[in-house]
Amino acid sequence: MKPKKTPMRMCLGCGEMKPKKDLIRVVKSPEGEISLDFKGKAAGRGAYICRSTDCLEKARKARRFEKSFSCKIEESVYEVMMNELREEPQDS
């Protein structure tokens, strides 16, 4: 029996390939709402970032979320995501 393959995803901030479970999914819902999805199960288009505010900031500056989701993202959405990332429990 082969060992189970670990799904890898690229962080939009640093560009590194990492195991999916080590990253946070940013999701654009079918209604067009953008939010952090800590469980990775929300419906919609997903993109991934590391669990650091630095990577979120890099992705924001390079407009990688806007390119990934093909839409304009308001500053207020980034502020909410920053706060959620800071408040996330670090035990996982």
Amino acid 56: pLDDT: 94
Nearest CA to 81 among 34, 44, 33?
Answer: 34
Question: DSSP code of 5?
Answer: P
Going from the first residue of the chain to its last (92 residues), give the mean pLDDT of each consecutive group of 10, the final group possibly shorter: 89 96 94 92 95 94 95 93 83 49
Residues 65, 67, 71, 73, Cα dihedral to 10°: 30
d(CA 52, CA 45): 21
pTM of the model: 0.87
